[in-house]
Amino acid sequence: MPNLHPLNHINNADPKLINFINQVNQDIDKINGLIKEYNNTTSDK
């Protein structure tokens, strides 16, 4: 999973906001993984 933290360098950014966005990014990575798995299983047919 890529380790992306695009907002960490922004001064005075709310740490809770940064944490929330990082969690969302992790969720998106998981969803993308599920989509890849689904596509791999359906392309086998």
Q: Report DSSP letters for 1-45, one per residue.
A: -----TTTTSTT--HHHHHHHHHHHHHHHHHHHHHHHHHHHHHT-
Is residue 37 predicted with pLDDT exceeding 70? Answer: yes
pTM above 0.85, yes or no: no
b/e 11-20 (16+ beta carbons within 10 angstroms → b) = eeeeeeeeee
Query: How much is the pLDDT for 2?
Result: 58
3: tokens are: 């380790």
| Angle of CA points 34, 26, 17, to nearest 5° | 145
pLDDT in tens, 6-36: 655 665 678 888 889 889 999 999 999 999 9
